[in-house]
């Protein structure tokens, strides 16, 4: 951040910044104004005109545009992208497609990982008998070596949440991709807490699949999500969720045959909240145009200011400090005070953060400014 606290974006792009101090992107980020506009326009048009304007070509364009935007986000190409309704939905379809067998294990993050990256594999495990392995976190921190040591030659999948929702801990995806591949396993990543705020070069990192929802750091809506799938998987996997849209030519509507597309879009299977998909496209383009690396650096500087301020106030910062393991998520305890009381105090002062277990979670994003951080610290310091 520059010395004069110049925001990275025009705050008019995020009207909600005018009405509250919102440091809660890890829960739901503020939505870009233009994203809200295109979503509203889409629903209004269908409400008033049915499919008169939203015809087959328009429906295809929704998917094509989001494929292109998500490809920019993940440094991939449009055929590498599948569109869905949520990160969980895409991960579930993927888990059934991979379906690790009875002799295999899935290293599915840690016991503090958001369950979206775990439950889909657990469900498959109940059918096939594969083993689910979770690293044990120590006071919220996952030792990367302990996690790595769970991976062996029977590991079929390593599934990580790129950034842990509760602590902000970020994993080195390239390192885990290399390790997973050494053991013949896939690296699947839930990027819901990183996409839009952390640069991700999916092919460059060697990730096999990566999914993200829209409503956190991507500043998009509920109801849309995207997945990157590495080329070898695009023709080999049989998706877990299948429907009329699964057919390579979805307009060839016949019940007696199903041929998948030879790309990631084979994971698209039905109608969806198209207006939300249009919104996600808008949000991704907005963020990528700014530059995810710039957003990352900017958010880190806000997180730095939060950490310094919290420590000055005597708080115990619990999120990782190592530059290679950090994200913009900062978590803290306040000795002698309940985290819930701290969160309530901030809420009463119209400052929005999150309570996660016994820590308060701060998650600044590109629409925040140093002024917001100072406001948080001022409220915390007051009686
Ligand atoms: C890491 C992570 N993954 C996934 C989700 C939920 O994603 P979705 O609602 O798209 O299924 C969350 C929500 O908090 C999350 O933190």
How do beta strands 330-333 and 105-110 pair?
Answer: unpaired
Q: Are 47 and 97 members of one domain?
A: yes
Ranges assigned E (strand) in the chain: 21-22, 81-84, 105-110, 131-135, 155-161, 186-190, 209-213, 225-229, 316-317, 330-333, 351-352, 354-356, 359-362
Single residue among 241, 262, 289 that ends a domain in this structure: 289
| CB 238 within 8 Å of CB 226 | no
Q: Are 263 and 302 members of one domain?
A: no
CA of 56 to the centre of ligand 1 (A): 31
Distance (Å, whole) CA 168 – CA 3: 26
Residue whose C-alpha is closest to residue 349's, from 331, 374, 376: 376
CA of 218 to the centre of ligand 1 (A): 12
Q: Are 278 and 220 members of one domain?
A: yes
In a domain, 115, yes or no: yes
Predicted pLDDT of residue 2: 45
Q: Are 306 and 177 members of one domain?
A: no
Predicted pLDDT of residue 1: 47
Count of domains observed in the chain: 2
In a domain, 372, yes or no: yes
In a domain, 29, yes or no: no
Q: Are 169 and 116 members of one domain?
A: yes
In a domain, 199, yes or no: yes
Instruction: Give the C-alpha distances (Å, rounded to integers) separating 250 from 76, 136, 143, 241, 242.
Output: 24, 44, 46, 15, 12
Distance (Å, whole) CA 343 – CA 350: 11
Residue 33 CB-density burial (10 A; 0-12 exposed, 13-18 middle, 19+ buried) = middle
Predicted pLDDT of residue 5: 61
Q: Are 184 and 301 members of one domain?
A: no
| CB 277 within 8 Å of CB 70 | no
Secondary structure (DSSP) of 195-255: TTTS---HHHHT-SEEEEESSSTT---TT-EEEEE-HHHHHH---SS--GGGBSSTTS--T
**What's the CATH code of the domain at 68?**
3.40.640.10
- Pocket lining for ligand 1, CB < 6 angstroms: 86-88, 114, 116, 161, 165, 190, 192-193, 213, 225
Structure tokens belonging to residue 302: 């806000």
| CB 168 within 8 Å of CB 322 | no
How do beta strands 186-190 and 225-229 pair?
Answer: unpaired
- What is the full per-residue pLDDT of the chain (383 aa) written as tens digits? 444 566 799 999 999 999 999 999 999 999 999 999 999 999 999 999 999 999 999 999 999 999 999 999 999 999 999 999 999 999 999 999 999 999 999 999 999 999 999 999 999 999 999 999 999 999 999 999 999 999 999 999 999 999 999 999 999 999 999 999 999 999 999 999 999 999 999 999 999 999 999 999 999 999 999 999 999 999 999 999 999 999 998 888 889 999 999 999 999 999 999 999 999 999 999 999 999 999 999 999 999 999 999 999 999 999 999 999 999 999 999 999 999 999 999 999 999 999 998 999 999 999 999 999 999 999 999 97
Single residue among 262, 289, 316 that ends a domain in this structure: 289
Q: Are 106 and 249 members of one domain?
A: yes
In a domain, 118, yes or no: yes
Q: Are 215 and 99 members of one domain?
A: yes
Which atom of ligand 1 lies at the shortest distance from residue 88's CA? 11
Atom 11 (ligand 1) nearest CA: 88
Predicted pLDDT of residue 253: 82
CA of 201 to the centre of ligand 1 (A): 20
pTM over 0.85: yes
Atom 14 (ligand 1) nearest CA: 27
Q: Are 91 and 162 members of one domain?
A: yes
Q: Are 143 and 212 members of one domain?
A: yes
Q: Are 252 and 337 members of one domain?
A: no
In a domain, 5, yes or no: no
Q: Are 112 and 251 members of one domain?
A: yes
Single residue among 267, 289, 311 that ends a domain in this structure: 289
Quote the domain boundaries for residue 365. Answer: 11-23+291-381
């Amino acid at each position: 951040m520059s010395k004069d606290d110049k925001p990275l974006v025009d705050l008019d792009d995020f009207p909600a910044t005018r009405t509250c101090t919102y440091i809660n992107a890890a829960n739901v980020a503020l939505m870009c104004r233009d994203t809200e506009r295109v979503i509203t326009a889409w629903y209004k048009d269908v409400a008033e005109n049915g499919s008169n304007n939203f015809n087959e070509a328009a429906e295809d364009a929704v998917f094509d545009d989001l494929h292109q935007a998500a490809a920019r986000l993940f440094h991939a190409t449009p055929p590498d992208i599948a569109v869905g309704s949520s990160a969980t939905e895409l991960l579930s379809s993927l888990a059934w497609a991979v379906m690790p067998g009875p002799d295999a294990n899935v290293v599915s993050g840690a016991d503090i990982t958001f369950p979206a990256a775990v439950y889909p594999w657990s469900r498959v495990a109940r059918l096939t008998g594969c083993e689910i392995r979770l690293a044990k976190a120590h006071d919220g921190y996952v030792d990367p070596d302990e996690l790595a040591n769970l991976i062996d030659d029977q590991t079929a999948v390593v599934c990580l949440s790129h950034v842990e929702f509760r602590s902000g801990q970020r994993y080195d995806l390239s390192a885990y991709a290399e390790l997973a591949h050494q053991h013949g396993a896939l690296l699947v990543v839930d990027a819901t807490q990183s996409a839009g705020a952390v640069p991700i070069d999916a092919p460059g990192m060697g990730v096999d699949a990566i999914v993200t929802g829209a409503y956190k750091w991507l500043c998009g809506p509920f109801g849309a999500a995207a997945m990157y799938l590495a080329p070898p998987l695009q023709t080999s996997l049989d998706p877990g969720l299948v429907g009329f849209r699964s057919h390579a030519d979805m307009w060839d509507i016949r019940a007696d045959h199903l041929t998948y597309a030879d790309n990631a879009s084979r994971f698209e299977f039905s109608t969806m909240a198209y207006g939300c998909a249009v919104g996600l496209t808008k949000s991704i383009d907005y963020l990528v145009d700014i530059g995810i690396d710039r957003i990352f650096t900017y958010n880190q500087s806000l997180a730095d200011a939060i950490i310094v301020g919290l420590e000055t106030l005597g708080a115990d910062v619990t999120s990782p400090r190592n530059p290679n393991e950090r994200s913009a998520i900062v978590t803290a305890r306040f000795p002698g005070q309940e985290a819930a009381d701290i969160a309530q105090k901030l809420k009463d002062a119209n400052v929005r953060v999150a309570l996660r277990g016994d820590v308060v979670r701060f998650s600044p994003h590109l629409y925040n400014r140093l002024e917001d951080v100072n406001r948080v610290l001022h409220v915390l310091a007051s009686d």
